Amino acid sequence: MKKNILYLLLILLAGTVVFPQHNLAAAVVSPQQSFYTSLSQLLQRHVQQGQVNYKSLQQDKTSLQKLVQQVGEYDLSKASAAEKKAFYINAYNVLVLQQVLEHYPLKSVMDVKGFFDVKQYNVAGQRLTLNQLEKQKLLEPYKDARVHFAVVCAAKSCPPLLNEAYTPEKIERQLQAQAERTLRSNQFIQIQPKTQKVLVSEIFNWYKADFLQDSNSLLSYINRFRSQPVPATYEMGFYTYNWQLNDTAKK
């Protein structure tokens, strides 16, 4: 009889065990959080020094396709301005990678008709081309020219692709660091002291109005992000944009 009572008490006690709430919360990850984590992991596996190893990325197609699906299903209904900004930058970069793989091996994205302005994607429930995504969701609402250094069009002359996701919590710091990284690069900003000239990316020519929103000149905008300013007396020119694929894979 005593054994039976003891057995019943043990069963009752087992049913009242309470698990710490923080452990349960840690196990719950929202689809939004999962998107940023998974993207960072993918980029760290396949991006080296701002360029992409598309051969290795091919072996990771399933992970990339899942990210493309998350881009389409992402819920922005309660998103802050920072979250939207980070999401749309990441969405652009994910969709560029996916589109390159669809046509890989590929010499240049310019060989794919309508790469930027015809092909539409599902982005948080909206059908958008890459150009519409960049202009309507990033450049127009935020008026932040640093976006031009964060969205990467898969060309050698593009800014380096960051090997981590832009996140709502760090987006402004990441954009600042990315602008500094890009505009301090000797390849992106080509200074010629002997001739007192500086050659800059044609991005500054194509999107001149964006850079002059809060700067008197292109050079003054560039110097905001440089530790060693380009002399104001230097003549500025634009080097030819290299549309060759930003591919690190050995041919």
Evaluate if residue 1 carries a pLDDT over 80: no
- Place 26 in a pLDDT band, splitting at 50, 70 and 90: very low
Domain assignment present for 250: no
SS3 content of the chain, % helix, strand, coil (to 5): 50, 10, 40
Domain assignment present for 230: yes
The pLDDT value given to residue 25: 41
Pairing outcome for strands 126-128 and 121-123: antiparallel
| Residues paired with 177 in a beta bridge | none
- Place 30 in a pLDDT band, splitting at 50, 70 and 90: confident
Q: Which of 97, 80, 65 is nearest to 32 (CA)?
A: 80
Q: What percent of the chain has pLDDT above 90?
A: 85
- Place 185 in a pLDDT band, splitting at 50, 70 and 90: very high
Rg (CA), the chain: 24
What domain count does the chain have?
1
* Structural domain of 195: 29-238
Domain assignment present for 33: yes
Domain assignment present for 19: no
- Give pLDDT tens digits for 55-67: 999 999 999 999 9
Evaluate if residue 24 carries a pLDDT over 70: no
Angle at 59 between CA 38 and CA 126, to 5 degrees: 50
Q: Which helix (H) or strand (E) holds 123?
A: strand 121-123
Domain assignment present for 17: no
Domain assignment present for 10: no
Residue 132's φ and ψ, nearest 5 degrees, are -65, -40
Query: Is-contact 54 245, C-beta < 8 A?
Result: yes
Domain assignment present for 144: yes
Q: Which of 232, 237, 178, 175 is nearest to 205 (CA)?
A: 237
Q: Which of 14, 156, 171, 143 is nearest to 80 (CA)?
A: 171
CA distances, 203 to each of 77, 148, 196, 213, 239 (Å) = 33, 8, 21, 15, 10
| This prediction's pTM | 0.88
Domain assignment present for 116: yes
The pLDDT value given to residue 16: 45
